[in-house]
Homo-oligomer: A and B are copies of this chain.
Amino acid sequence: MKVSILGGGAWGVTLAQVLLDNDHEVLVYDIKKENVDAINSLHHPFFNNVLPSNIKATTSISEVREFSNTYVISVPTKFIPSLLDTLNPLTRKSLFINVSKGIDPDNLESISDVVKRHIDKKYLIGYVNLTGPSHAEEVIDRKLTLLVASSKDTNLAKDVQKLFSNTTYIRVYTSNDVIGSEVCASAKNAIAVISGIISSVSSTGENARAALLTRGLKELVLVIKHLGGNKKTAYGLTGIGDLIVTATSLNSRNFRCGIRLGKGDSLETIYAEEKQTIEGIRSIEALHKLSLKYNFELPIISAAYDLIFNHLPVKECIEKLLLRDLTKE
């Protein structure tokens, strides 16, 4: 099969390698010529590995559009609307596989919403979300990784399962809970930032972090419930699995961002130095707004919101997070 990868970041290029390993053809699209040149010379700024010799990249959206009608969306969430505008007008029915993670803090749209709004229904085969615990750093090294393909259309989920699975290092499961997977993907980045904040302080260690993730899991379930997903998704690879891998590892830039916030660095400083988007900050904003809109409590998310946007001191943030009234679990 031929697959167009929209976005030549770490995860896009890693998934391109997976598809090449599985004997598919790929073309990676990126707006930055230096990224495209790097990929075509088999190097990626994010990795030391030499990329497969048959990887190809381009800055030409029309070339990508001709290459394949199967698109992997792999750009920072804030760029997805303009990416889809650039991709239009489509001329044939297309499948969208999304691997970006976030909810828009301005209009509270999920990525499936964004795709539906930007892609003419008559050109849309369907939408599949591909998520799960997956540091790109490990997948590029072909370390064993389990993912989940979520789609309302079971056959499309199975198609994506077959596309990415192999017998050596990638296993893909299927699910029909698209909104659940989108909530989890967004919320785990938010909780990872908060986990970083917790980890920056000497009074809290692994015990407190595990408690935070456990209580964070409850918030994932709450958001899923209010948005009409299946709460079981929170207990699977897409939920707690991805939460564990993201919120406990220096491989996660959301976690690293939290550590720096906890130590007092400003968001502006962090944004200026990190080369990649920190989706967790946008997710904290989006989830906080969702809890206000639907009128339910997300204590962890709202404490983090207050720290980041209302300058709540770290100590008070941790008290809000983990020192609430004694109660039943």
Contact = CB atoms under 8 A, between A and B. Distances in A.
Interface of A: 132-135, 138-139, 141-146, 148, 161, 165, 167, 169, 171-175, 203-211, 213-214, 217-218, 235-238, 240-242, 244-245, 248-249, 251, 318, 322-323, 326-329
Contacts of A240: 213-214, 217, 240
Instruction: From A138, A175, A214, name the one whose CB has the most chain B CB atoms within 10 angstroms.
Output: A214
A242 B210 CA distance: 7
3 closest Cβ contacts across the A-B interface?
Answer: A133-B210, A214-B241, A146-B211
What DSSP secondary structure best describes chain A's contact surface?
A: mixed
Contacts of A327: 173-174
Contacts of A329: 148, 173-175, 236-238
A244 B237 contact: no
A205 to B, nearest CB: 4
Nearest to A198: B144
How many copies of this chain does the complex contain? Answer: 2
Contact of A203 (B143, B167, B251, B318): B143
A13 to B, nearest CB: 17
A145 B208 contact: yes
A211 B133 contact: yes
Contacts of A210: 133, 237, 241-242, 244-245
B206 A251 contact: yes
A328 B175 contact: yes
A128 to B, nearest CB: 14
B135 A205 contact: yes
B211 A326 contact: no
Given A213-B244, A318-B144, A207 B135 contact: yes
A249 B145 CA distance: 20
8 contacts: A133-B206, A138-B205, A143-B204, A148-B329, A209-B244, A210-B244, A213-B244, A217-B240
Given A143-B203, A146-B207, A240-B214, A322 B171 contact: yes
A144 B212 CA distance: 11
A214 to B, nearest CB: 4
B144 A204 contact: yes
Contacts of A248: 206, 244, 248
B322 A208 contact: no
